[in-house]
Amino acid sequence: MTHHGRFRCAHWPALVVSVALLAGCYTSEPPPRLRKLDLSGTPYQRGLQHGKALSSEIRSFYSTMLATSLLPYLNREQADISAVLKAYDPKLHAEYANGQFSLKLLTESALELEKSIPQDYRDEMHGIADGAQVPYANVLLLNTFVDSTLATRSVAYYLRAVQGPKVELVQASAFADNQGDLLVSDGVDNDGDGQTDEKFEALVEYAARPDAALVEVPTTAQFRVMLQDADGVDPKSVRLQLVIDGKTTLFTPGSAGYSAQLYSTPKGDVEKDRLEIKLVPPGGLPGKSVVTLAIQASDAKINPSPVPAKARTMRIEQFTFSTVGYGKKAGEIANLGASDGTTSPASTAFALRKSATADGKPLLAHHFTLLDAGTSHKHCVLQIHRPPGKPAFAFVGWAGIAYGFAGLSAQGLAVAVAPSDTLNNPLVARFKKEQLNTKLVVSGVPVGFALRRALEETTTAVKGAELLVGMPHTFGWNFLLADAAGELRAVEAHAAVHPENSKPVAYGPEVRADLGVLTPSVNADDLAIGAHFRKNATDIDEPVFLFNVPPQRAWSSYYYPSLRTQAAQLDAIGKQYGKVTALSAQALLRTPALVDRHDSMQASVIEPAARKMSVAAGIVPATDGVFETFTLPVVP
């Protein structure tokens, strides 16, 4: 080990000042497009070459992504977090006051995450710092902010969600003269509970799910929705959407067929925390169709922090059902709805082989999207590493960061990753032990270094998946692996707060028949990942102190958009099955339903057997750009 991995922690006291002043201290220009680095030598030497070559870009990325975008974003989360976790109350703990919350939060997690970063990678980061002439502390922060930010965001978003409106129930009814409610007399098990025509058969306690909640609903059905919020639900904020065959009809207060009032109990007591909404679709519903009722509302309380003052708005919840004559079971009907423009497609990747490709050879395609903040796409870097006496490898990431989100080894292994919201993360594990005194300090192996280890330490998709499953993870991640021999594996990773209940899993295309609408494959020779869990769909669901910690489907803002993205992706793959080439895979990534036009960061198509990697970056969306291709040499 070199001396460069030892003494630099002394720079941490200066980090507060360096973040605040960095944008003014340096004159730097972001790179116009994808940069390429060909690095050789020891880890420190490769880092030094990286830092010297991209000194300006590293400074630019640090100042624009962290100081200008991310730190202010996280500071806005302090109010919701400190309302529960008193360790972050600025009145009780001055070190988190005056805008220092986000910086201190990321710094504490960076120091903890550093403990799980292998020494070679730390030496490389020291080389980057020395080459770019920036503090090592800054480089460490750049190499850990993705993991710490996503884990913190998950807690903040969940705490905000539990304080906002919730859908308690949805009830469908269809009355006919002398027959009463048809849903309790139609001889159909409408709610899939194994019973037919029981009382209140179509009254469903709402729960987020990937499939339909009711089937064979009469076309004359009308709906009752109950919303609850401790601060009351603002009746003016309610938006209901009926999505039928991709066409959306919006209902708001004043729309024909829509009505809302505070709920009155059978005894006549008015409950101010519940809003009862009724919807009678004008003209009725079409038969033999799939319909989604999408629901969104805000509470009646205006929260002064974060600025600007506003109410809490729930994510769009989706209730899907089929109408009479459709003829499928609930588990055979995907709960997709349609985007109303407020959400974007999620990160995605797919791998193909044998009968799925034109030449039978494997390929992996990946589109990474998260938080571009108008800057990350300008700092994308393709790094080619040639360690002495070892096989070369390459990955695409960002300036100043010693890892990427998609990569290829000279031994023919391709790996890509997508984030997958989960509360099965180290922060919740800490909360279980420390409760309201919990600090949001993230632990585990940062995702990019996990991907690098798979590239450098394994040669097959199976072995790579085994390595990833066995690692301690910082958050929820979906990995996709493909090797030169055509093996395909997906890995669903999280922190395994309680391993006996839920732990990381790996699988191949063979699971498609077991997962219903969550299938990851069209056929036997393809495999896809998105921003949601499939095989590990119940990633966590248990009481932790005062909270019942739910699975991602119950709260993640990415869940329903990811379901839609993956359905569109599998549909596009199915239409080209057996004809896909590396070039057509690039075109497939450009399918409009798959493209986030706001936060797209980078896109890749990898051919493991040919050791080729094509990367598009530098604009938003990345897929609108030109894919630049390089071939990784087989010999060290």
Query: What are 394's strand-pairing partners?
Result: 384, 408
Give 291: exposed, middle or buried? Use CB within 10 Å, 0-12, 13-18, 19+: buried
Quick one: which of 140, 144, 124, 220 has its CA closest to 175? 220
Task: Say whether both 512 and 374 belong to one domain.
Answer: yes
Task: Say whether both 321 and 412 belong to one domain.
Answer: no
**pLDDT tier for residue 159 given thresholds of 50, 70 and 90:** confident
192 falls within a domain: yes
Query: What per-residue confidence (pLDDT) applies to 16?
Result: 38
Task: Judge whether residue 307 has pLDDT over 80.
Answer: no
Task: Judge whether residue 4 has pLDDT over 70.
Answer: no
17 falls within a domain: no
Task: Say whether both 444 and 325 belong to one domain.
Answer: no
What does the DSSP assignment read for 23-59? HHH------SS-EEEEEESSHHHHHHHHHHHTHHHHH
Domain count, the chain: 2
76 falls within a domain: no
Q: Letter for the amino acid at 82?
A: S
Task: Say whether both 440 and 541 belong to one domain.
Answer: yes
Q: Tell me how crowded residue 95 is: count the other CB atoms within 10 A of its CB.
A: 10
56 falls within a domain: no
Q: Taking each helix axis from N to C terminus, what angle separates 461-469 and 447-457, rounded to the nearest 10 degrees? A: 140
Query: What per-residue confidence (pLDDT) applies to 464?
Result: 98
**pLDDT tier for residue 636 given thresholds of 50, 70 and 90:** low
Query: What per-residue confidence (pLDDT) applies to 25?
Result: 42
Residue 215 near residue 188, CB atoms below 8 Å: yes
What does the DSSP assignment read for 412-450? SEEEEEEE---S-SHHHHHHHHHGGG------SB-HHHH
pTM above 0.85, yes or no: yes
Provide CB contacts within 8 A for 423, sequence distance 6+. Answer: 154, 155, 158, 539, 540, 549, 550, 552, 555
| 334 CB-side CA count, 13 A | 21
d(CA 277, CA 285): 18
Percentage above 70 pLDDT, the chain: 94
**Residue where a domain stops, chosen among 301, 332, 363:** 332
| Dihedral of alpha carbons 607, 608, 610, 611, sign | positive
Task: Judge whether residue 177 has pLDDT over 50.
Answer: yes
Residue 101 near residue 75, CB atoms below 8 Å: yes
From 186-200, 346-360, 537-551, the region with the lowest mean pLDDT: 537-551
Task: Say whether both 371 and 316 belong to one domain.
Answer: no
**Residue where a domain stops, chosen among 332, 359, 387:** 332
- What 3-state class would DSSP assign to 507? strand
Task: Say whether both 403 and 476 belong to one domain.
Answer: yes
pLDDT digits (tens, 9 = 90+) for 436-482: 778 889 999 999 999 999 999 999 999 999 999 999 999 999 999 99
Q: Between vectors from CA 410 to CA 1 and to CA 52, what angle results, nearest 5°?
A: 50
**pLDDT tier for residue 138 given thresholds of 50, 70 and 90:** very high
Quick one: which of 351, 612, 609 has its CA closest to 480? 351
Task: Say whether both 413 and 307 belong to one domain.
Answer: no
Residue 594 near residue 565, CB atoms below 8 Å: yes
Residue 506 near residue 478, CB atoms below 8 Å: no
For the segment 143-170, the average pLDDT, to the nearest whole number, is 91
Task: Say whether both 557 and 443 belong to one domain.
Answer: yes
**Residue where a domain stops, chosen among 276, 306, 332:** 332
d(CA 522, CA 545): 42
52 falls within a domain: no
Q: Letter for the amino acid at 601?
A: M
Query: What per-residue confidence (pLDDT) applies to 9?
Result: 36
Quick one: which of 7, 148, 135 has its CA closest to 62? 135
- For position 402, which CATH number holds? 3.60.60.10
**pLDDT tier for residue 306 given thresholds of 50, 70 and 90:** low
Task: Say whether both 219 and 299 belong to one domain.
Answer: yes
d(CA 502, CA 479): 17
Phi and psi torsions of 323, nearest 5°? -105, 170
Domain span at 307: 165-332
Task: Judge whether residue 24 has pLDDT over 90.
Answer: no
Q: Letter for the amino acid at 371?
A: L
From 32-36, 48-52, 551-555, the region with the lowest mean pLDDT: 32-36
- For position 176, which CATH number holds? 2.60.40
d(CA 358, CA 581): 6
d(CA 55, CA 171): 60
pLDDT digits (tens, 9 = 90+) for 65-115: 887 778 887 888 888 788 778 888 888 888 888 888 888 889 999 999 999
pLDDT digits (tens, 9 = 90+) for 530-582: 999 999 999 999 887 667 889 999 999 999 999 999 999 999 999 999 999 99
Residue 435 near residue 425, CB atoms below 8 Å: no
Give 619: exposed, middle or buried? Use CB within 10 Å, 0-12, 13-18, 19+: middle
Residue 227 near residue 233, CB atoms below 8 Å: yes
416 falls within a domain: yes
Q: Letter for the amino acid at 378?
A: K
Task: Say whether both 618 and 514 belong to one domain.
Answer: yes
Mean pLDDT rounded to a whole number for the chain: 90
157 falls within a domain: no
Task: Say whether both 238 and 373 belong to one domain.
Answer: no
**pLDDT tier for residue 5 given thresholds of 50, 70 and 90:** very low
What sections of 78-118 are H helices per DSSP?
A: 78-82, 101-114
422 falls within a domain: yes
Task: Judge whether residue 1 has pLDDT over 80.
Answer: no
Q: Tell me how crowded residue 389 is: count the other CB atoms within 10 A of its CB.
A: 5
- 453's enclosing H/E stretch is helix 447-457
d(CA 35, CA 14): 30
pLDDT digits (tens, 9 = 90+) for 416-434: 999 999 999 988 888 877 7
Query: What per-residue confidence (pLDDT) applies to 217?
Result: 97
Residue 310 near residue 337, CB atoms below 8 Å: no
Q: Taking each helix axis from N to C terminus, what angle separates 15-25 and 101-114, rounded to the nearest 10 degrees? A: 110
Cis peptide, bond prior to residue 504, ω within 30 of zero: no
Query: What per-residue confidence (pLDDT) applies to 76?
Result: 81
Q: Where are the extended beta strands (E) located within 221-269? A: 222-228, 239-244, 247-251, 258-264
Give, as one character, the DSSP assignment of residue 255: S
**pLDDT tier for residue 143 given thresholds of 50, 70 and 90:** very high
Query: What per-residue confidence (pLDDT) applies to 155?
Result: 83
d(CA 347, CA 603): 10
Task: Say whether both 323 and 360 belong to one domain.
Answer: no
Residue 418 near residue 552, CB atoms below 8 Å: no
Q: Letter for the amino acid at 468?
A: L
362's tokens: 């494997």
pLDDT digits (tens, 9 = 90+) for 576-585: 999 999 999 9
